[in-house]
């Protein structure tokens, strides 16, 4: 088994230890105490920065962990969720502010000496005209490299789940194509009020309408793994970044598929769900050729980020 050079690694989904991401860190630490728990190095391991949320020390430790893991660049997703949203699955019954603005991400980019790039969060409850204007501002003023959509926490105008092919979202996709950036679409078992939101035929229909839209399924579409793999097979502009879910039950399907879709898989740690060092070590154990490993760890992400 060949290994890619460790000098070039992009972590495509890394939530820094900010207060806004605090519930994710709480979830990570609490899961380790479950009586019946998932096991695995990437799943159970913790790092020093996870205990310093909201502190300057946490950011310093994360930078140190990047160096120790050989990670050159992290991609930090922004988030804009309506006030009052309650994330029962990852926090208490109390509403928490999980918003991370473009301004915060720009400050972090400076704080990390340009080893961090941000993606702008989209509040899908806002008028679409306002969202389109915000996307243009995010790209031109703040240098954001993509947008983050989390439709699992929003409702369609007529009620019910807001699916990716809802026509109200089409101006957003058009703006993304116009500005030559990409969409990171949230998936995974915490991507909505239940994991039924991981249903991918709507994405298939949308991608048929937008063949030039660069589209990334964050968390790889888990647990809808086979549907997500089918999306990538059918649409060359669909990328999968399964991150921690490579180590979840069924995650071997992702690992086995990477050599078959070598230009469409992207490495990420999903920190704090996994520390950087253990995430990189786990990825380097995947049975990939040196060429495919390099694409997975770096080149595919670099192409989307226009590095």
**Residue 79, domain CATH:** 3.20.20.140
What integer pLDDT is reported at residue 211 of this predicted model?
97
Say if 283 falls within a structural domain: yes
- How many domains is the chain built from? 1
* Residue 212 within a domain: yes
Does residue 4 belong to any structural domain of this protein?
no
Give the pLDDT of residue 119.
Answer: 97
Tens-level pLDDT at each residue, the chain (307 residues): 444 445 699 999 999 999 999 989 999 999 888 889 889 888 999 999 999 999 999 999 999 999 999 999 999 999 987 666 655 555 555 556 778 999 999 999 999 999 999 999 999 999 999 999 999 999 999 999 999 999 998 999 888 999 999 999 999 999 999 999 999 999 999 998 889 999 999 999 999 999 999 999 999 999 999 999 999 999 999 999 999 999 999 999 999 999 999 999 999 999 999 999 999 999 999 999 999 999 999 999 999 999 9
- Only one residue has tokens 């230009």, namely 263
Tell me how far apart the alpha carbons of residues 32 and 149 are, in angstroms, rounded to a whole number.
29
Query: Are residues 16 and 76 in contact, defined by beta-carbon separation less than 8 angstroms?
Result: yes
- pLDDT at 96 (0 to 100): 62
Domain assignment present for 32: yes
Q: Is residue 188 part of a domain?
A: yes
116-121: strand order across its sheet: 10-11, 73-77, 116-121, 146-149, 182-186, 214-218, 238-241
pLDDT of the residue at 5: 47
Q: What is the DSSP letter of 103?
A: H
d(CA 2, CA 5): 10
Containing domain of residue 99, as a range?
10-305
Fill in the DSSP letter of residue 213.
-
Beta bridge partners of 118: 76
In a domain, 231, yes or no: yes
DSSP state of 20: G
Strand (E) positions, the chain?
Answer: 10-11, 73-77, 116-121, 146-149, 182-186, 214-218, 238-241
Please state the separation of Cα 288 from the chain's center in Å.
22
Asked if residue 160 belongs to a domain, the reply is: yes
Which one, of 300, 235, 303, 234, lies nearest residue 268 by Cα? 300
Write down the pLDDT at residue 84: 60
- DSSP code of residue 280: H
Position 91 scores a pLDDT of 54
Inside any domain, residue 236: yes
For residues 49 and 33, what is the distance between their CA atoms, to the nearest angstrom?
19
CA 90 – CA 270 distance, rounded (Å): 15
The alpha carbon of 2 is separated from its chain's Cα centroid by a whole number of angstroms, namely: 27
Task: Provide Rg for the chain, Cα atoms.
Answer: 18
């Amino acid at each position: 088994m060949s290994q890619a050079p460790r000098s070039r690694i992009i972590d495509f989904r890394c939530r820094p230890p900010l207060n806004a991401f605090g519930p994710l860190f709480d979830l990570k630490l609490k899961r380790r105490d479950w009586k019946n728990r998932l096991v695995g190095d990437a799943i159970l391991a913790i790092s020093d920065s996870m205990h310093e949320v909201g502190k300057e020390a946490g950011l310093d430790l994360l930078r140190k962990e990047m160096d120790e893991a050989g990670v050159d660049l992290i991609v930090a997703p922004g988030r804009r969720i309506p006030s009052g949203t309650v994330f029962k699955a990852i926090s208490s019954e109390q509403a928490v502010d999980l918003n991370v603005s473009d301004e915060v991400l720009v400050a972090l980019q400076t704080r990390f000496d340009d080893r961090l790039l941000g993606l702008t969060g989209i509040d899908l409850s806002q008028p679409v005209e306002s969202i389109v204007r915000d996307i243009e501002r995010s790209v031109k003023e703040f240098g954001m490299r993509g947008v983050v959509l989390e439709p699992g926490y929003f409702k369609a105008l007529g009620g019910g789940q807001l699916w990716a092919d809802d026509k109200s979202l089409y101006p957003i996709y058009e703006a993304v194509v116009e500005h030559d950036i990409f969409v990171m679409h949230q998936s995974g078992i915490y991507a909505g009020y239940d994991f039924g939101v991981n249903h991918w035929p709507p994405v298939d229909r949308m991608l048929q309408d937008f063949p030039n839209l660069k589209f990334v399924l964050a968390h790889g579409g888990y647990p809808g793994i086979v549907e997500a793999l089918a999306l990538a097979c059918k649409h060359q502009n669909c990328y999968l970044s399964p991150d921690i879910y490579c180590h979840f039950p069924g995650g071997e399907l992702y690992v086995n598929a990477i050599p078959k879709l070598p230009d469409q898989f992207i490495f990420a740690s999903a920190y704090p769900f996994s520390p950087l060092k253990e995430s990189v070590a786990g990825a380097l154990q995947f049975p990939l050729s040196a060429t495919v490993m390099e694409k997975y760890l770096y080149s595919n992400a670099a192409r989307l980020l226009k590095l």
